[in-house]
Amino acid sequence: MDEELAQILDAIGPRLRALRHDRGLTLEVLAAETGISVSTLSRLESGGRRPTLDLLIPLARAHRVALDQLVAAPATGDPRVHLAPLRKAEGSVLVPLTQYPGRVQVFKHVLAPREPRLVTHEGYEWLYVLAGELRLILGEHEHTLHPGEVAEFDTSEPHWFGPAGTTAAEILHLFGPRGDQAVVRTGRKAGPRPES
């Protein structure tokens, strides 16, 4: 095995551990999601077992990442599309999806469990839940959002959002710094589809 390949393989374990920690998962929970034993997961993360495709594919699915993110495949194509995640002190991960200063900003957010702390600031936010359950506190009201559900609010109202339980929640997070609000152009109501 050449040195470059050995370095790529050696980096997979720490990357798997970081992904699991970022999502706030235990080895037991990840084992239940993937069907891979706790001991195998532990050995993969510590480098005691070499990763194989039959192990990496279910892990990539569980973590909702592309397989090449697990193996750190060489970057190809336009370098502007490679996103740099920002790791927060409390264990959350923020991935900026747009870079338009002064305009609506879009992020993918993996939120680790933490204590609520209400904040206020100028702007407007939209939250779309991708995975997990999101707890949203707006002033004196509290909401629990599930995958596929959306919330929007003026950020001058005291607010906080994070996981509703002990595991991470994943969201798409849009922030309008000047109070920009979405303009809905279509409003078709869901109903039975016409028969063909």
How does pLDDT run across 129-174, given as a tens digit for each residue?
999 999 999 999 999 999 999 999 999 999 999 999 888 899 999 8
pLDDT at 98: 78
Burial class (CB in 10 A: 0-12, 13-18, 19+), 40: middle
Q: Which whole number is the average pLDDT over 9-13?
A: 86
Domain with CATH 1.10.260.40 in the chain: 3-71
| CATH 2.40.128.110 correct for 3-71 | no
Superfamily for the 83-176 domain = Jelly Rolls (2.60.120.10)
DSSP H helices, 24-89, are 27-34, 38-46, 53-63, 67-71
Q: pLDDT band for 196, please (50, 70, 90 cuts).
A: very low
| Global pTM exceeds 0.75 | no
